[in-house]
Amino acid sequence: MEDDSVPRAVTPVVLHFDPTCPFAWVTSRWLLEVERLQLIDLRFRVMSLSVLNEHRELEPWYREFNDRARGPARVCAAAEALHGNTVLRDLYTALGRRLHLERNNDHDVVITESLDELGLPASLAKAAHGDEFDAALRASHQAGQEAVGEEAGAPVVTVDGVGFFGPVLTSIPKGDEAIRLFQATRTLAGTGAFAELKRGRGALDVR
């Protein structure tokens, strides 16, 4: 029988997300489901696919995506710098709902509506088109890269201090499935010899 008087260890988990990445969105919703069911200390940090790929040769459509992705990431960096890290959780949810569920591709509208929903200053939207908070964005992005140990895309998840690219998911695990995946991720995090695991992707479902 489990002794409820013994404090349970809280697993530290950090998600580095790019607001525009649908795979980061799915992983974030999985981690929120885990948080609902199990004791974890979940933190959100911003990263940037635009920063990651700024010097790479890309297909024209993906270059356009990356260039446009910098705006929402900049706003997240500005919000964190001016209002603290805890604001990122709700801001990401507000942005992500519009970007991924409602499929609104007008980033300026997405940003303005999200800030308004959360009662954050409308002036934060200006960060999307300026470089004032780029140093903060790059520092947060770099922290995620260093956790993995090499360049990695979104999402980056750190569990018990060990960073991964991924897990990359095509749908959101719920209930027992969410917990099983998290336990497996913790096991891999605690296995020093583990480096990589990958298979082909199915159809993406962000709901």
The residues with which 41 forms a beta bridge, in sequence order, are: 12
Domain residue limits, the chain: 11-189
* pLDDT of 2 strictly over 50: no
* pLDDT of 7 strictly over 80: no
* pLDDT of 201 strictly over 60: yes
Closest CA to 164 of 197, 142, 205: 197
Asked if residues 13 and 41 have their Cβ atoms less than 8 Å apart, the reply is: yes
Give the separation between CA 55 and CA 31, rounded to whole angstroms: 31
Pick the CATH number of 11-189 from 3.40.30.10, 2.60.40.10, 3.30.530.20, 3.10.20.30: 3.40.30.10
E strand map for the chain: 11-17, 40-46, 156-159, 162-165
> How confident is the model at residue 44, as a pLDDT?
98
**pLDDT tens sequence across 144-162:** 999 999 989 999 999 999 9
Percent of the chain with pLDDT over 90: 84
* pLDDT of 172 strictly over 60: yes
* pLDDT of 4 strictly over 90: no
**pLDDT tens sequence across 91-118:** 999 999 999 999 999 999 999 999 999 9
